Amino acid sequence: MKKLFLFFTLALLIIPKNVKSQNEGETIAAVAGGLLAIGAGIAAVEEMKEQAELTATQWLLSNHPEYESFSLKTLDFDGKKLKDMSSASVITFKIQEFEPADKPELNGTKKVLFGFTSYGWINEYGINFDKVQWHLIDAKEWMNMMVAYSKVSSTEKDDLKIRETLKDGKIVNRGVKGKGGMDIPFYKLEGDMYLVTDYSPEMKLIYNERSLGIFLKSTKDLVQISRGGIIDIHEFFFEEG
């Protein structure tokens, strides 16, 4: 609400002083209507985010009863616009265990939970979680995925070199940047070009310019994680405390 009030106040300040009262009234009404729409969109995304976090927590508790103290937060709802939500193909959550204490530190095992979505997963009633397929991975599995992804995305095929570069470096828009610079540059492709590797019995990994594609064999859905999403997951596993 504070943000909405600030937007409204700024909008009033920038309205020209020399406009006629009628035009000024129409302008103020238009600005107010637009800001209300923005506020409604923000509220809708926040509600979906809370709904998704609750369902992810319920899934984790039902399928992994060994978890007794943990934090679960979304990775990819932040900053999303409402109009982009219906086209999102994967929701990611970062999970980390901790020791119970007053003001505990998140210093335990890290996992990432993928919620792979199918067409129609968002409707007028909110999120239909019957159309979400869950997949939990740890740092080792993520590293294996990134090694396979880097091999199909570049000329580098040495597993050990890729693994060491990924461990000590960063995934950036154009490749894997090690301590000495751009150690593993990715191919430059057109938007309609794809490179495919058969990663596991569950999925194929697909390289396309600026994204990681995951083809789910069970549902025959192709979902995509943006390069920014890949960077966020990698930093969570290997750079955050």
Q: Quickly state the pLDDT bin for 22 (edges 50, 70, 90).
A: low
DSSP line for 16-50: -TTS-HHHHHHHHHHHHHHHHHHHHHHHHHHHHHH
Highest mean pLDDT of the ranges 35-39, 52-56, 79-83: 52-56
Give yes or no for a contact between 73 and 43, defined as CB atoms under 8 angstroms apart.
no
Question: What does pTM read for this prediction?
Answer: 0.76
Q: Quickly state the pLDDT bin for 70 (edges 50, 70, 90).
A: very high
Give yes or no for a contact between 72 and 64, defined as CB atoms under 8 angstroms apart.
no
pLDDT of 104 higher than 70: yes
Nearest to 37 by CA among 8, 58, 2, 63: 8
pLDDT for the residue numbered 47: 78
pLDDT for the residue numbered 43: 58
In tens, the pLDDT along 159-212 reads: 999 999 998 888 887 889 887 777 899 999 887 899 999 999 999 999 987 678
> Residue written as tokens 């204490």?
101
Nearest to 77 by CA among 60, 52, 102, 101: 52
How many CB atoms are closer than 10 A to CB 3? 11
In tens, the pLDDT along 127-150 reads: 777 888 899 999 999 999 999 999
Angle of helix 2-14 relative to helix 21-63, nearest 10 degrees? Answer: 160
Average pLDDT over residues 12-26: 49
pLDDT for the residue numbered 174: 83
Give yes or no for a contact between 95 and 70, defined as CB atoms under 8 angstroms apart.
yes
**Which position has the higher pLDDT, 79 or 25?**
25
**Which position has the higher pLDDT, 179 or 71?**
71
**Which position has the higher pLDDT, 80 or 164?**
164
In tens, the pLDDT along 204-241 reads: 999 987 678 899 998 888 888 888 888 899 999 987 65
**Which position has the higher pLDDT, 104 or 123?**
104
pLDDT for the residue numbered 169: 84
pLDDT for the residue numbered 170: 83
pLDDT for the residue numbered 28: 46
Q: Quickly state the pLDDT bin for 23 (edges 50, 70, 90).
A: low
